[in-house]
Structure 1
Amino acid sequence: MTAPTADWLRLDQQICFSLNAASRAFGGVYRIVLKDLGITYPQYLVMLVLWEHGDLPVKKLGEHLRLDSGTLSPLLKRLEAAGLVRRERSTHDERSVEVRLTDAGAALRERALQVPRRIARSTGIDLDEIRDLRTRLDALTEALDAAAVEGAPEE
């Protein structure tokens, strides 16, 4: 049985609201867990990409994080002020800025190893469920990206 059309406008029926609420709840837990590392959640995401891929141009870093340079630049400035990254003009293309980990930024990786475990425990769900949820969210993101390009489907 399907819900009447009018019920679709209830807040508790909106997947976007549930995802936003979950994201905000994650933010609260990350604030606590990352406090010991001295970085914020968005800064943590930048560090994850650099730990995984090494030195990257700002543009490529933004692609990995799905962030534009206007959003990414202030994050990088704060990470640079904290001594965790360096930004340098590319020797191959002076229009491009490379982001590099400092020794302190590379060393922070070791301390960050406990973060994913603490976050996973905070969710209250097991690792198989977490993997399944990630797969489903990745598929949802892909479908929504396609809909944004093609235009949201009509009934």
Structure 2
Amino acid sequence: MHIRVDDLRGPEIRALLEEHLRNMHAISPPESVHALDLQALRHPAITFWTAWSGADLLGCGALKALDASHGEVKSMRTASAHRRKGVARAMLERIISEARSRSYALLSLETGSQPEFAPARKLYESFGFAYCGPFEDYMEDPNSVFMQLRLGR
């Protein structure tokens, strides 16, 4: 598996992000979907990675800079054909490593509260993420769960 910074121009990533958004809208009401589309992921505060095996796109993830000491995990997605193969774990390791290299003290995320998100919550818990309240512009929402990882300085 090779993880690289992605420019979001390839048809493979477009298809994976479209699948991601369709899935999020199928599970959550529109006001509770916080997944970013292709254009939003091109924001300068966001670093976006893709995981590949040869020409096969395995998954993606992103890190959004919230301020000089705080980042947010965004757009974690594993292609359906590659689930349960360690793609999400490798991507999260990459994101945490980058957050540490930036000297972030805190890494936060929002994910769903529904049963479909249980594997994601379990993954985040295994890395030491703890449940917390909303951060940044998020608000309390029964469909959202907020988590954070203290990285130290």
Which one has a larger percent helix, Structure 1 or Structure 2?
1
TM-score w.r.t. length of structure 2: 0.27
Which one has a larger percent strand, Structure 1 or Structure 2?
2
TM-score w.r.t. length of structure 1: 0.27
